[in-house]
Amino acid sequence: MLDAARDGLVGVLQHEGVKEVKFEEVGTHAARLKAVKQFLHQGVECAAAGSVRIDVVTWDTHDSRHRIEGRDDTENLGRMYYHVLRHVARAWGSGRWRLYPDENSAMDWKELEEILGNSRVAKRTGNLPLPLDDDSVRTIEIESIEPVQSIAEPLVQMADLFVGMARFARERGQGCAAWLAARGGDDLQGRFPFNCLESGTEETKRTESRYAIVSDLVMLCEKRRLGVNLQRKSCLWTPKPTNPINFWNYEPQGEYDRAPTR
């Protein structure tokens, strides 16, 4: 499944003549927009087929957990990696894992590996994409962690695309929701959806291109009944976190939940 997903994305890059897909570079460049749209479509289809999970965790650096003096953002990033990877392990059924994160020289991957290796997850009931054994509680075994350059790994590029959409929707949620409502459920999958951007400043065109991409994501997820919502909270959000595309907007768990400090 990994090879099939990667080969499909490589084919998109080669066909459109694009070296790398990044949400931050989404603008009005036709080939890059087509590549982004196809990456998005393949990600949703793979998730709907049960061969891929896409979990995106975002957090507000101004909430009660993070609005503290001397916050250690690098250590906090490690904790968020822990939260989302533990969730993924529980959703898929934990076993032996190989992690290929985008390169981040500030991260202490060895420490994260040790923390995950000491973590225990309860077996989830219900239907799962992969079978679990009979143990009710299991550990997360990390076989290896190998940071990779995104330009060399299209699956990391797909991760970057979904993360970028989540962040943009947090920042411009009302605009995204208004754009989606204006489309009125119009399915633009079969044609290029940016003809309306012929006028206006370059910045306006770039912003509206991003509105359209986020709108496409929501419509594709609705079509596949994946439960991704935009309108209710003016950001990308998955009410049922076990769904194969899970946008998790982290909220403080209580007064005790504080970001680490230096």
What is the per-residue pLDDT across 36-86, written as a single tens digit (0 to 9) for each?
A: 999 999 999 999 999 899 999 988 766 556 666 666 777 778 888 888 888
- Sorted by where each begins, the domain ranges of the chain are 2-249
What is the percent of the chain where pLDDT is above 70? 78
Instruction: Tell whether the model's pLDDT for residue 189 goes beyond 50.
Output: no
The span from the CA of 249 to the CA of 237, in Å, is 7
Instruction: Tell whether the model's pLDDT for residue 154 goes beyond 90.
Output: yes
Q: What is the mean pLDDT of residues 183-187?
A: 61
Pair 109, 145: CB distance under 8 Å: yes
Instruction: Tell whether the model's pLDDT for residue 88 goes beyond 70.
Output: yes
Give how far Cα 211 sits from Cα of 12, 138, 172, Å: 22, 42, 9
Pair 186, 197: CB distance under 8 Å: no
Q: Report strand pairing: 96-99 vs 141-145.
A: parallel
Q: Which two tokens stand for residue 16?
A: 């459109």
What is the percent of the chain where pLDDT is above 90? 38
The span from the CA of 65 to the CA of 58, in Å, is 13
Q: Which two tokens stand for residue 148?
A: 């990779």
The span from the CA of 119 to the CA of 113, in Å, is 10
Q: How would residue 261 be classed by pLDDT, with cut points 50, 70 and 90? A: low
Please give the pLDDT value at position 79: 84
Please give the pLDDT value at position 190: 35
The span from the CA of 193 to the CA of 101, in Å, is 32
For the chain, the first-to-last Cα distance in angstroms comes to 41
Residue 197 one-letter amino acid:
L
Strands, E assignment, the chain: 54-58, 96-99, 120-122, 137-139, 141-145, 245-249
Buried b / exposed e over 178-197, threshold 16 CB at 10 Å, is ebbeebeeeeeeeeebbeeb
Please give the pLDDT value at position 116: 83
Mean pLDDT over the full length of the chain: 81
Q: Which has more confidence, 261 or 91?
A: 91
Pair 56, 164: CB distance under 8 Å: no
Please give the pLDDT value at position 245: 96
Q: What is the mean pLDDT of residues 92-114?
A: 81
Q: Which has more confidence, 224 or 73?
A: 224
Q: Which of 27-36, 199-208, 247-256 has the lowest mean pLDDT?
A: 247-256
Give the DSSP H or E segment for 112: helix 109-117
